[in-house]
Amino acid sequence: MAAITAAEMWTTVGSTIASFMFLSTIIRQYCPHEVRHFLEKWMHTLACFFNPYIHVSVHEFTGTRLNRSEAYAAVEAYLSTNSSKSAKRLKLEMEKDNKNIVLSMDEYEKVTDEFQGAEISWVLGKTGLPQQPMGSVYHSEPERRFYKLTFHKRYREMIAESYLQHVMKKGKEIRVKNRQRKLYTNGAANRWFITKQTMWSDVPFEHPARFESIAMEAEKKQEIIEDLLHFSQSKDFYARIGKAWKRGYLLYGPPGTGKSTMIAAMANLLNYDVYDLELTAVKDNTELRKLLIEITSKSIIVIEDIDCSLDLTGQRKKKTEKETEDKNEQGKKETNSKDPKEESISRVTLSGLLNFIDGLWSAIGGERIIVFTTNYVEKLDPALIRRGRMDKHIELSYCSFEGFKVLAKNYLLVEAHPLFETIERLMEGTKITPADVAEALMPKSFREDAEKCLSNLIQALEEAKKKAATKKAEEESRGKEPAKDDSLVQGKHETEEPQGLDDGAVLL
């Protein structure tokens, strides 16, 4: 007997399937319901036996859950890249910031993918019926979409073991890249209490700060950038050493030196969300823990002005008599200036905060950065800022000439100018914050060119010099020891200077 060739075999299979389809039409038209149901089931089993292809469905919503399935979202993102190249019917959507458009496959469209030599096809299908108008007598199931993946059964193992992992990983990466980042706050009038869904409220994070526009020494800036990038790529390292994947930054320095700006630049560099934690609005340690649990990965948790947030200053220190006295004096002053209502609201303790940073619960979520900012670093409890908790201490200080050049390039698009020499000379003996330099360089009208703005800065520097000299003379005439540094600092802590930190602090 002659051997059957592959072509003949496929012809036979094809004609069998065609006959099945014809039979099924006949059955549907002429058979009673019970017989039809039985025959259709039997034919489906038979067809599956001959069909060499395997299907996998990924549904948009699973079970009774109202949340969109993570797997579906990952497939959607994964397919958005090759759908735009190969699909013929596409859907257009706006991406984050409404700046970019995203093209993805439309319903019932098919796209193919290739992986390790296997050809894989994806179809976007739909179940249910479109939503009925209000008052309609038909209560149809809501429309639900699903992706159907089809491949030959010989690739079953490879698809299950590698391809699906690959789709999920790439899809998640694309989603992270494309997502609209958010700025969360816990301070919004107990919104969570009403919705019982989340303790955080959010808005799109749109701060434009970048490291390139921050005024500071290039070397130090590079060091911080590298530290951040290294952290974000060190998942395996943290797992290996058995540490939660998180890193603490303490940013300290006088007001207007760029602490908040740097946090925004960090978030933009790493593509992270920002959780701005208002400690005074947190009722107690339990609530603090609840907030922590809700924070997702790839996020920066910020506590601004930690020294003003709560009485977290030096509770663990062993005090000398003199220190205790000073503290009491200072305590009286602070208590007088504090809102008594505010004090009664928050019962977060130092130990609650320490647990928040590196207690057992802090490892949930992973890939997090915690940033504290303060103008009074010397007032903080050493336990709060010790290495391991606040891994990197960064001092942001007055504007240097190098910092000025960054601002001049940024604000005026000027990299060199004859007035730079005067500015450099004046800056040497004067302390001025980057915020004040930025303000002087900001053109106030369309008539103000670069030269005018630089002259404004010279004027500001001269005034600052004069002011410092007058202050010094006044103090000397009063017989008081002149302050070590006179500065142009304005704001919260006009007369206070940040103290140096322990070894390893990065001075900027």
Ligand X SMILES: Nc1ncnc2c1ncn2[C@@H]1O[C@H](COP(=O)(O)OP(=O)(O)OP(=O)(O)O)[C@@H](O)[C@H]1O
Residues that bind ligand X (CB under 6 A): 214-216, 255-261, 375, 434-435, 438, 491
Which is nearer to Mg ion, 259 or 393 (by Cβ)?
A: 259
Of 134, 142, 263, residue with least CA distance to 211: 263
C-beta of 378: minimal distance to ligand X in Å?
Answer: 15
C-beta of 398: minimal distance to ligand X in Å?
Answer: 10
CA distance 353 to 393: 18
Q: What angle do CA 320, 321, 322 make, to 5 degrees?
A: 90
Contact flag: residue 433 with Mg ion (CB under 5 A):
no
C-beta of 438: minimal distance to ligand X in Å?
Answer: 5
Which is nearer to ligand X, 260 or 430 (by Cβ)?
A: 260
Q: Residue 477 corresponds to which tokens in the numbers above?
A: 């005439």
* 35 SS3 class: helix
> Which of these ranges, 32-40, 257-265, 331-339, 357-365, lies near Mg ion under the rule CB under 5 A?
257-265
Phi, psi of 487 (to 5 degrees): -140, 175
C-beta of 305: minimal distance to Mg ion in Å?
Answer: 7
Alpha helix ranges (H) inside 108-217: 156-158, 164-178, 191-195
CA distance 80 to 179: 14
Which is nearer to ligand X, 260 or 299 (by Cβ)?
A: 260
Which is nearer to ligand X, 125 or 491 (by Cβ)?
A: 491
- How far CA 362 is from CA of 71, 192, 310, 464, in Å, comes to 26, 21, 20, 46
C-beta of 270: minimal distance to ligand X in Å?
Answer: 18
Are 384 and 378 spatial neighbours (Cβ–Cβ below 8 Å)? Answer: no
Q: Residue 257 corresponds to which tokens in the numbers above?
A: 């030196």
Q: What angle do helix axes 164-178 and 70-86 make, rounded to 10 degrees?
A: 90
Q: Which does 215 bind (CB under 5 to 8 A by kind): ligand X, Mg ion, none?
A: ligand X
Identified binder of Mg ion from the candidate list 80, 83, 104, 260, rule CB under 5 A: 260
Restricting to residues 280-299, name those near Mg ion by CB under 5 A.
Answer: none
Q: Which does 434 bind (CB under 5 to 8 A by kind): ligand X, Mg ion, none?
A: ligand X
C-beta of 491: minimal distance to Mg ion in Å?
Answer: 10
Phi, psi of 507 (to 5 degrees): -95, 125
C-beta of 140: minimal distance to ligand X in Å?
Answer: 54
What is the rounded radius of gyration, in angstroms, for the C-alpha atoms of the chain?
33
Which is nearer to Mg ion, 362 or 375 (by Cβ)?
A: 375
Of 232, 182, 177, residue with least CA distance to 368: 232
C-beta of 408: minimal distance to ligand X in Å?
Answer: 11
Q: Are strands 110-115 and 101-105 parallel, antiparallel or unpaired?
A: unpaired
C-beta of 130: minimal distance to ligand X in Å?
Answer: 49
Which is nearer to ligand X, 184 or 372 (by Cβ)?
A: 372
CA distance 501 to 396: 12
Which is nearer to Mg ion, 259 or 368 (by Cβ)?
A: 259
Which is nearer to ligand X, 72 or 372 (by Cβ)?
A: 372
Tabulate helix, strand, coil % of the chain (nearest 5).
50, 15, 35
Q: Which does 310 bind (CB under 5 to 8 A by kind): ligand X, Mg ion, none?
A: none
Q: Which does 279 bind (CB under 5 to 8 A by kind): Mg ion, ligand X, none?
A: none
Which residue in the shown chain puts its C-beta closest to ligand X? Answer: 258
Q: Residue 32 corresponds to which tokens in the numbers above?
A: 């009673």
Entry field: residues in the chain: 508
Which is nearer to ligand X, 167 or 407 (by Cβ)?
A: 407
| Interacting residues with Mg ion (CB under 5 A) | 259-260
